[in-house]
């Protein structure tokens, strides 16, 4: 078993995700020739580190209205019923179900819910370290990445292109850079 104390500085307790120093981003194929990148600017979450690291848990909520792809027209279209339908489904949630070792890193498994569709997703998880901060707190860093199929979550818009292919790809790569603060 991997204990929290086996990772220097990572102690059992509740760690709140710091949205100012974290990022929830994604990449999707566009017009079959390039990738569009975007992120969500509003989110919150907690990491509950247990005495045994593999018994730890992660929960997170993302405000779907906070999408930013650097194009206001595209962002508004993604918020519409064609994609996320944010008026009806304002949040995306994640709740972990397992953490398992994978070489020197980990795999974080959990239930991702988008538009009331819940599917299991696995994220490659890297622990980046623990450090004191200038305000007397303790911070931990994590990097996670995974891939989903947007159609599994009811985001099933299909815009074919002349000559074959589609405007928006099905595979979405999710990237997380998380800085979490240990709570008192």
Say whether pLDDT at 96 is over 50. yes
- The structure's pTM equals 0.91
Mean pLDDT (whole number) for 134-162: 87
User: Residue 94: which of 45, 135, 59 has the closest Cα?
Assistant: 59
- pLDDT category of residue 160 using cuts at 50, 70 and 90: low
- pLDDT at residue 1, as a whole number: 47
- Tell me the pLDDT tens digit for each residue of 7-20: 788 999 999 999 99
Task: Answer whether 129's CB lies under 8 Å from 141's CB.
Answer: yes
- pLDDT at residue 92, as a whole number: 97
Q: Which helix (H) or strand (E) segment is 107 a member of? A: strand 105-114
Domain count, the chain: 1
Q: At a CB cut-off of 8 Å and minimum separation 6, what does 81 contact?
A: 88
- Tell me the pLDDT tens digit for each residue of 19-67: 999 999 999 876 667 788 999 999 999 999 998 888 999 999 999 999 9
Mean pLDDT (whole number) for 118-144: 96
Say whether pLDDT at 165 is over 60. no
> Where in the sequence is the domain holding 72, given as residue range(s)?
4-182
User: Residue 153: which of 26, 16, 18, 17 has the closest Cα?
Assistant: 26
User: Residue 26: which of 81, 73, 83 has the closest Cα?
Assistant: 83
| CATH number, domain containing residue 57 | 2.40.128.110
- pLDDT category of residue 174 using cuts at 50, 70 and 90: very high
């Amino acid at each position: 078993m991997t204990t929290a104390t086996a990772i220097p500085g990572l102690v059992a307790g509740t760690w709140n995700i710091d949205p100012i120093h974290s990022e929830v981003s994604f990449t999707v194929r566009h017009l079959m020739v390039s990738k569009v990148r975007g992120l969500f600017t509003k989110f919150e979450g907690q990491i509950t580190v247990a005495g045994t690291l593999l018994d730890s848990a992660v929960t997170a909520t993302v405000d779907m209205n906070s999408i930013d792809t650097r194009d206001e027209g595209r962002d508004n279209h993604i918020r519409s019923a064609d994609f996320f339908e944010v008026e009806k489904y304002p949040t995306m949630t994640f709740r972990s179900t397992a953490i398992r070792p994978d070489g020197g890193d980990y795999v974080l498994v959990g239930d991702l819910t988008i538009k009331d569709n819940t599917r299991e997703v696995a994220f490659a998880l890297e622990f980046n370290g623990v450090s004191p901060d200038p305000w007397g707190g303790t911070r931990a860093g994590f990097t996670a990445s995974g891939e989903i199929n947007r159609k599994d979550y009811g985001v099933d818009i299909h815009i074919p292109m002349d000559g074959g292919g589609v405007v928006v790809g099905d595979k979405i790569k999710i990237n997380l850079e998380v800085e979490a603060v240990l709570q008192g």
